A and B are shown apart, each in its own frame.
Chain A
C-alpha cells in the first residue's frame, strides 16, 4: 500500500510536507511502539483525522499490528477516523455546564446542524460534546473553532450559527 492518506490534501506540496513532518515525529521517538499515542496526536494534527490508510502506514512504520493501532485510535475520544467539518462546535458537558443547561445547547446544534459526534452532510459543521474542558467558571462553555465561548445561551448560539451561514 502507499503512504498517501486518501483524500486529505488538495495541494501536492502541502501533502508531501505533512508526510515528512509525520516521519520526523516517528523518528524522534525511534519508531518505538510506546510512542503510538504521540504519533497519532501528530498525525491527527497534520491531517485533521485518521483515515484507515494513514493508520496502516503508522502500524507498518512502528512495527505494530494494524489491529493494535486501530484499537488505540478508536479507544480514545480524542482521535477521529472521519474528517471534521469546516467549523466545529464542541459543547462542554461537564457537571457545571450540565447544571447551567449545556444540553439545551446540544439540542440546538443537533436541530440546526448534525447529531453530536457527526458532521453535516455538506461538511460544513461538526457537532461534538466534551467531557469537561475545565472552564467551569464560564459555564456553559462551547469551543467554537478552537476558541472558548463563555456563558453561552441558545440565542447566542443561533447568532454564531447565523454568522457562519448555517441555514
Chain B
C-alpha cells in the first residue's frame, strides 16, 4: 500500500460507514465478554438478519468503553446513546433506538465522561480492533506515512522530545531522550521492544489498549523503529492476556498483508517486523533487563545496570524498551506535533494518563485524564465516590507504590507530586479503599506479592521480603512487639538501598507509606491487638491481655 492508497482507503471506508443508517458498537473487551457480551453481539446480529437490515446497520465489536462496572455496554454510535447492563433480550430495543426494558441509556454528559480527555483511548470503544479498515478510517497509519514520507528519523526523535512524553510504565523517564540514546548508537542491529508485561496487581490499562486498539501500538512501534534505526520489534505480552495476544496476532498479520509492517512499508523502502513473545507469569519480567533475559529464552532475572539497554540490550544490541501506553501516544504526537502534546498537562508531566480505577469506587473501569487532574476529581467526580462507606486511601503504583490518605486528595496527579507524598505514578492502577480495608494487611498483601515474585538473585530482596512479610504477618495476627516495628523500618531502608533491581528497591514502599500515614493502625494491632477496620482477627486471649 502506498501513502496515496492509504488515504484513498480511508475515504472509501468513511464513505461506506456514512452510508449506513446505524453502527452499533458492542464492547467485546475482556470485562464485558465475561459478563455475556458475545451472546449480546450474536443476538444483535440475529436481530439485524431477522429485520433484513444487513445493508443499513452494522454491528461491530470494539475495545473497552471505560465504564466496566456497568457492563456489558453497547453504544449506538450515531446518536450517540450508550446502554449499560445489557442482556441478549435487549437487542430489539437497541436496534429500534429505544430504552432497554431493564435500564435506560447511560448519561454521556455525566462527569465520568465529561471530565476525561482521551488521546491513548481515543479509538478504544470506537473502532473494531479486529478490522484494519476501521483503524484506517480514523486516520490510522497516517502518522507512520507522514514520518516516512516527510520527516527524517532525527526529526521524529526531536518531535517526541519536544512533546515532553515520559515513560508510562511508571518510572517516567523522558521518552525522547531514550529514543535519542538508541538512535545515536552506530550498531547495525537494533531492537524495539514493547513492554506489555503488565504485572501490577490492580492494573489493566495496557491490556485494554492492546485489546481495544492494537494497531495504534504497532504503528507507534514502527515509527520508533524508523526513528532509532531498528528493523525488528518484539512485544513481550503477559501469558494471562489471551484475548490481547489473539488480537495482536491478527493485527500484525493484517498490517503485514497491506505492507504497513514487514518489508517495503508504505512503499518507502523501510522495513520493520514485529514478533510477539508470550510471558509466562513472572512479575519481575516487567523490569527491563529481566524482560530481555526472558525474550532470550532464559529465566527472567535482572542484571546490574549500566550498561543500560539503549547501549546493550537484547542479544547485546542497542534496544529501545517502552511501555504499551507510551507507544500508543506516538502516532498522535507525530500527527499533531510535539507542541500540541506539550500543551496538555503540567510543567513537568505532559499529556494524559490512563488509570484503571478499581476497588470500592462507585464507577470502576478505564479512564484517561490530563496530567495534573487532582485525585479528588478522579475519585469523586469521575469515580462517583464511595457508596455507603467512607474513603480511607487510594493505592497507586501497585506493590511499588503507596497508600494515599484523605489529606492529600487535592494533590495533582503527576510524577513529582505523587513521589512527594510517598507514592508513585506507577503504570496506572488506582485502587480505592474504604474504612473496611486494614492498612497493615494491605502492606502485608503487597509484601507477600513481592516475596513470591522475588527472582531470588540478590539477597536483600530474596531474604528481606521474607523477613518483612514475617513481621507484617505477626502484626496482623497480634504476635508482634514494638521492637518489630523498628526492625521493619530498618529492613525497609536496607532493601531500598541494596537491592539489585526495582522490585526489591521499591518493595518496602507500601510499608513505608502506610507506616507514615496510618501509624495508629500499626499501634492498635501491636499494642491493643485490635484491628480498627475489623479485618484482622485475633484470639480472644490476645485481646484480654494487652501486651
Selected interface stretch from B343-351, B357-365, B404-412, B539-547: B357-365
In the complex, chain B residues whose CB is within 8 Å of the CB of A36: 297-298
Contact with B along A124-138 (1 / 0, CB 8 A): 000000111111111
Q: Which of B203, B298, B366, B455 contacts A132 (CB 8 A)?
A: B203
B294 in the interface (beta carbon within 8 A): yes
Cross-chain contact of A95 among B35, B201, B294 (Cβ < 8 A) = B201
**Are B31's CB and A72's CB within 8 A?**
no
A152 to chain B, nearest CB (A): 11
Residues on the B chain within 8 Å of A83, using CB: none
A148 to chain B, nearest CB (A): 4
Q: A109: CB under 8 A from chain B?
A: no
Interface membership of A41, Cβ < 8 A? yes
Interface residues of A in 9-58 (CB under 8 A from B): 32-38, 40-41
Query: Does B431 belong to the interface (CB within 8 Å)?
Result: yes
CA distance A137 to B447 in the complex (A): 23
A137 adjacent to B201 (CB under 8 Å):
no
Tell me whether B34 and A95 are in contact (CB under 8 A).
no
Verify B297–A34 contact, CB threshold 8 A.
yes
Complex Cα distance A41/B283, Å? Answer: 17
Any chain A CB within 8 A of the CB of B198? yes
A61 vs B403: C-alpha distance when bound (angstroms) = 49
Binds A, one of B74-82, B163-171, B274-282: B274-282
* Residue B68 is within 8 A (CB to CB) of chain A in the complex: yes
Q: Check B280 against A78 for contact (C-beta < 8 Å).
A: yes
- Nearest residue (CB) in A for B71 is A137
Q: In this complex, what residue of A is CB-closest to B211?
A: A134
CA separation between A138 and B283, bound complex, in Å? 22
Known contacts A96-B431, A99-B359, A131-B283; A41 and B299 CB within 8 A of each other = no
Contact with A along B271-299 (1 / 0, CB 8 A): 00000011111110000000000111111
Q: Is the Cβ of A141 less than 8 Å from the Cβ of B296?
A: no
- The answer to whether A78 and B239 have CB atoms under 8 Å apart is yes
Q: Specify the chain B residue showing the minimal Cβ separation from A76.
A: B280
Closest Cβ of chain A to B208, distance in Å, is: 8
Once the chains are docked, how many angstroms separate the CA of A132 from the CA of B204? 9
Find out whether the CB atom of A95 lies under 8 angstroms from the CB atom of B202.
Answer: yes
Ranked 6 nearest A-B pairs via Cβ = A137-B68, A76-B280, A95-B202, A77-B281, A148-B34, A94-B201
B278–A37 touching, CB < 8 Å:
yes
Complex interface: chain B residues within 8 A of A141 (CB): 34
B113 in contact (CB, < 8 A): no
A96 near B294: Cβ-Cβ < 8 Å = no
For the complex, give the distance between the alpha carbons of A2 and B34 in Å. 42
A contact residues around B324 at 8 Å (CB):
none
Residues on the B chain within 8 Å of A100, using CB: 359
Asked whether, in the complex, the Cβ of B358 is within 8 Å of the Cβ of A37, the reply is no
Other than the given A96-B359, A136-B202, A137-B358, 10 more pairs (CB < 8 A) read A37-B278, A40-B280, A75-B282, A76-B282, A94-B201, A98-B445, A99-B433, A131-B453, A134-B198, A137-B71
